Structure 1
């Protein structure tokens, strides 16, 4: 595997916004860096876990919010490209970065300065939009939860009269989640009164969608990570099941296993082929036991934070597959390593406590892991782990407590209306 990689073509982790404790970026730095690929990253400061990795050649300190004018972000990327001084593979870690690269690919790809999968310019924005994704699913026959898109408070009030609760509220657009978020992530709403109370703070044009709630007692969370070439053919395809997430049942993966699921892989490959996407994808689906359907919740047109869960027998993950393909090398074939487990140390413990109380089970999870990949701890790269611990102590613990408190409020609301 190492001999196949173009070691003279570096990679750049592209991230916009303030989220220094991002294990996905660290995973990408290690994944390519271990093969000898020179790695660079955009970081909030010089003391993020990514910035101190032994596999990072240089951190470009560039604090951003994700709400800057696109022209400013493009110019910043071009400036970094000039400093690197050679063609560089871009590895976006958030929707804002993926959308920006797609919508300015002519400028960013000029003279071969940056290498990235070419897609229809508006497609990543559409996929990152909850409304855009739902409309694509409807068009191509992909199951997804029933969803409405209110345009005013009056729309919400009218919907609330006949709605079935609980339901889920999400921010409609990826970019607006940073500049004008209506909700802080996926929010479970238990009652009509609770919905109307939230809606009063959303203004005249609420930037939310209201979605059918798939009860966790009747559902199971699955993930698909894959890399698709310029013809939308899968060069790497992986499927797995979430055991825990944080916040519970609605946040990022805290614990997951690799599980073969040909039906899910076929669904993902068919959808990507129909829409003509190229690049890395991270899909979240929920299996609804009531009707036997896998319902697509999120289509992230970029690398997922937990991508290192998945690796083939030939040593390929989605980031390595992208680097190989964009540098003109063949991606080695190989089956996924079934039974492999992924654990995010800083969020799995609170998730474990919450899930024990909820009684949720994951029938498809293996009884025993064939191997475990930790998000932060690595014997050959210890500094990111200890830097994470230091930065977690105050703001990180406070953030985890706030998420837990929101979850507890939702649970109490459920019991009061049950």
Structure 2
């Protein structure tokens, strides 16, 4: 079997390349980082260098299609936000290879957080109260009648980029003004307001085919970057029947195909609220492999026309992503106050976490040292860029792989509009 994997600059995309290669699949890794972890893996037979999707989606797609026209593959497997661009152009791409994807309008709707809230209401899935003001006057009117605290967020960001906690109307208005100061902001990228739900962050990752879950891992974030909510650096698989039922309902309602991850907050009453949906793989990929969910085997069975049995991750397995853990450690340098004390505190917990880890991640994998080196260099480059431009390290690390609605919609003016309700 020959598989073209895209989005392989991420550590979980590279892990998928590794596992496919271990299972005898002929893998081509494709992304816009010249020496990415996926391309440098010993399990990658060929690699394809693409333009940066966020800046030039048309060139990215044209080069990918040109490659597909000249090379035969049994499957095109997206692992990150390029899944949105591929879903929009699935009719063209599917002429050359198999692409298992969800309808583009559905993917875009759940990727856009305020529209996700509207869909959750329609599907009877709990979600925090959400408001999406059209402009500052509407925001000011809203701010006067809200109960605080609330969060100001960006509709399609990841890694908590742009998220600001607001404790009064003045905080909210100031944060909104800062977020909308750029005169070229796209209407669909204007910030929205969401009620704060106090509780524990629980995340999921599942692989689905035509609305049926094939495999799933549900996990709690033991440590996140940024601290207090974001991407998990340490995580533990858990059993949670209520969330498993909710994700099954989501898969059926969306008729999902491919990877998808949900972020939820479980409050003190044990009620789960969906706060984000990522139409892609996430850091739970490695945890799933460790806990008994063989994602790549499930995918191959579907390609062969088989009907795989559902795989649920074993509870109690913990994994650590060293690169994200380093970012968590360095985050203490940005915090005001006694930085030295904060660094000492985090260094202690970095070296000796309060919990055990059941397996090493890609960055500490000696077997595939070239991928390890490439990932480390990518992390270092992201750190330097973060310090130089004073933007979050997560934003720098994923800049090559993120989907940007404004540039993609300019490429495809007939993209379906996103309907939403401004208030919950």
TM tier relative to shorter chain: 0.7 to 0.9
Match of 1:119 in 2: 102
CA distance 1:250–1:375, shift in 2 (3 Å): farther
Equivalent of 1:155, from 128, 133, 138? 138
CA distance 1:13–1:263, shift in 2 (3 Å): same
CA distance 1:223–1:320, shift in 2 (3 Å): farther
Give CA-to-partner distance per residue, 1:40-60, whole Å, 9 cap, x none: 222324322222111112221
Q: Which secondary structure does the structure 2 equivalent of 1:93 belong to?
A: coil
Q: Which secondary structure does the structure 1 equivalent of 2:359 belong to?
A: strand
Which ranges in structure 2 are unaligned for 5 or more consecutive residues?
A: 333-340, 346-353, 394-424
Q: Which secondary structure does the structure 2 equivalent of 1:372 belong to?
A: coil
Q: CA deviation at 1:332?
A: 4.7
Equivalent of 1:56, from 34, 44, 53? 44
Match of 2:399 in 1: none
TM-score, normalisation: structure 2:
0.78
Q: Which secondary structure does the structure 1 equivalent of 2:386 belong to?
A: helix
Between the aligned partners of 1:50 and 1:237, the Cα distance in structure 2 is 23
1:372 equivalent to 2:359? Answer yes
1:223 equivalent to 2:216? Answer no
CA distance 1:120–1:395, shift in 2 (3 Å): closer
1:47 equivalent to 2:47? Answer no
Corresponding residue pairs, total: 368
CA distance 1:293–1:353, shift in 2 (3 Å): farther
Contact 1:308–1:317 (Cα < 8 Å) also in 2: no
Q: CA deviation at 1:136?
A: 0.9
Q: Which secondary structure does the structure 2 equivalent of 1:302 belong to?
A: coil
Q: Which secondary structure does the structure 2 equivalent of 1:162 belong to?
A: coil
Between the aligned partners of 2:197 and 2:80, the Cα distance in structure 1 is 27
Q: Which secondary structure does the structure 2 equivalent of 1:164 belong to?
A: coil
In terms of mean alpha carbon deviation, does 378-387 or 137-146 score higher?
A: 378-387
TM-score, normalisation: structure 1:
0.79
CA distance 1:322–1:107, shift in 2 (3 Å): same
Between the aligned partners of 1:148 and 1:77, the Cα distance in structure 2 is 38
Q: How does 1:193-342 map to 2 (within 5 A)?
A: 193-201=170-178, 202=180, 205=187, 207-215=190-198, 219-230=199-210, 232-289=211-268, 291-311=269-289, 315-342=292-319
CA distance 1:344–1:115, shift in 2 (3 Å): same
Q: CA deviation at 1:346?
A: 1.7
Q: CA deviation at 1:253?
A: 1.4
1:76 equivalent to 2:63? Answer yes
CA distance 1:271–1:86, shift in 2 (3 Å): closer
